[in-house]
Structure 1
Amino acid sequence: MEYSKLKRKDNMIIFFDLDGTLLDHKSSEYLGVKEFYNYNKKYFKFNENEFYKAWCDISEKHFNIYLAGKLTFREQRIERIKELFRLAKIKLSEHDAEKNFNEYLLNYENNWKCFDDVKPCLDSLKDYRLGIISNGDLTQQNLKLEKMKIKSYFEIIITAGEVGISKPNVEIFKIAASKANVELRYCYYVGDDLNTDILPCKKVNMKGIFIDRNGIAGKIVDFAVINSLENLKNYIEG
């Protein structure tokens, strides 16, 4: 029997990644780091671009350690700042590292914004069940959704910080589908990272959709690709 559109709306769910998919994380991070650099540049021999690259490299390193369960969310923040300041031969205490991170965090949060295609997309999907699957911390991800004024669109929010499992581990997708009470094959997942978002979906028969705003996917791919979230509804209903 054909899986009708009506049945799909009643018995399916569309999950989204958050950072890089809904939230313009890179722009927010860059502006936050820029302000942090301007305040602290007297300590570093780096120019602004070099400082930003070091920030990103160190952040990725310690966030991955957090995702592996070897640091708490708070600890990875502290370790990131400690390592950054060690590049300037400054040894920070835990207290001072956390204080510095909070200064950056304020700048980062003040620059949170969603991509321009997000709200039109969510408005077009008002008849569908929507959810979030994110590798972030639940409190912070909720705050992002609230600040962008889009939290009310989402019925289910699953984060690595809450369930103790992070993408690309397929178990986090299974948990999300179970919480939604929807079979994996009737779940969609929209994300901007092939390795952590799209490829794991294929392993569990969830329908992964790659949001490719920068045109990196190429022409020959074996997964769904859209270049704007405004195309999502047409893809799902096509």
Structure 2
Amino acid sequence: MPIAALLIDIDDTLLDDVHATRHGVAALLAAHALPYTLDEACQRWHSLTQQHWARFEHGECSIIEQRHARLRGLFQRELSDDEANRAFEPYIAGYRGNWKAFDDVAPFVAATAHLPRVLVSNGHLDIQQRKLAVTGLDAHFPHLLTPQNCGHAKPDAAIFDAAARLAGVPLQQCLVIGDDPVRDIGAAQALGMPFFHVDRGRTDGGLLACLQLLG
């Protein structure tokens, strides 16, 4: 069955979130003199993000509450909400100031312009819209689904069903493109959908390698 639409992740698929996050963490270290090397802090921040973002995805806390929980885990001490808000400001500046698309995104966008494309992300709607606007990708991707405007998060089948409806294409004709083994690839496998695993640690893991699946 030919591929008729693309359902595409954003962070670490189109945009280099690892790069932006590292700059955000570096700004935290510089502002607060935390007792970590940059690599240690990034590793701890990644672990805290996985833990608390999962809580946010499941509706157990707000975007601000998970942010504060990550900070408290990194600082290893209690912070009031006001203290956490102020402490987080350097991270936000460093993170947002380093949003960028991967080098292969522009040729990928050009090569797939003939197909319906829907962005499917577990990121917060407002933040993801800002990223797309800053990087200029909003002009190419008019459809964006997140838990805030869909009511479901990946790997729930409902968000992929909604994306396929937006694309106007049967689910099994939509190619899922993403980097997350569970939220993207595992979900596609469970639904019997074609998929491409973006893994930039492999020479054949970039976006352009998925073009061979389009026929």
Range into which the TM-score falls when normalised by the shorter chain: over 0.9
Query: Are 1:55 and 2:45 matched, yes or no?
Result: yes
Amino acid in structure 1 at the alignment position of 2:69? E
- Report the equivalent of 2:24: 32
Amino acid in structure 2 at the alignment position of 1:186? Q
Amino acid in structure 2 at the alignment position of 1:94? D
- Report the equivalent of 2:128: 141
SS, match of residue 18 in structure 1: coil
**Greater relative contact order: 1 or 2 (C-alpha under 8 angstroms, separation 6 or more)?**
2
- Partners of 1:32 and 1:47 in 2: CA distance: 14
Greater Cα shift, 188-197 or 154-163: 154-163
How big is the shift at 1:16? 0.8
Shift in CA distance, 162/78, structure 1 to aligned 2, threshold 3 Å = farther
Q: Is the 8 A contact 2:31 2:90 kept in 1?
A: no
Deviations 1:48-75 (A, max 9, x none): 3222222221122111110111011122
SS, match of residue 115 in structure 1: coil
- Partners of 2:109 and 2:165 in 1: CA distance: 23
Larger radius of gyration between Structure 1 and Structure 2: 1
- Report the equivalent of 2:14: 22
SS, match of residue 157 in structure 1: strand
How big is the shift at 1:145? 0.9
- Report the equivalent of 2:195: 208
- Report the equivalent of 1:126: 113
Q: Indicate the percent of aligned positions where both proteins have the same amino acid.
A: 28
Pairing 1:164-203 to 2, within 5 Å after superposition: 164-203=151-190
SS, match of residue 13 in structure 2: coil
- Partners of 1:46 and 1:124 in 2: CA distance: 43
Q: Is the 8 A contact 2:24 2:90 kept in 1?
A: no
TM-score by length of 1: 0.84
- Report the equivalent of 1:71: 61
Query: Are 1:236 and 2:201 matched, yes or no?
Result: no
Decide which of 87, 102, 107 is 2:89's aligned counterpart. Answer: 102
Where structure 1 has 5 or more consecutive residues not aligned to the other structure, the ranges are 217-225
Deviations 1:99-132 (A, max 9, x none): 2223211110101111111111101112221110
How big is the shift at 1:144? 0.7
Amino acid in structure 2 at the alignment position of 1:34? A
Amino acid in structure 1 at the alignment position of 2:25? V
How big is the shift at 1:171? 1.7
- Partners of 1:13 and 1:155 in 2: CA distance: 14
Where structure 2 has 5 or more consecutive residues not aligned to the other structure, the ranges are none
SS, match of residue 101 in structure 2: coil
Pairing 1:79-118 to 2, within 5 Å after superposition: 79-85=69-75, 87=76, 89=77, 91-118=78-105
- Partners of 1:230 and 1:48 in 2: CA distance: 31
How big is the shift at 1:186? 1.2
User: What is the alpha-carbon root mean square deviation over aligned residues?
Assistant: 1.8
Q: What stretches of structure 1 move > 4 A for 4+ residues in a row?
A: none
SS, match of residue 154 in structure 2: coil
Q: Is the 8 A contact 1:129 1:154 kept in 2?
A: no
| Equivalenced residues, count | 215
- Partners of 1:26 and 1:112 in 2: CA distance: 10
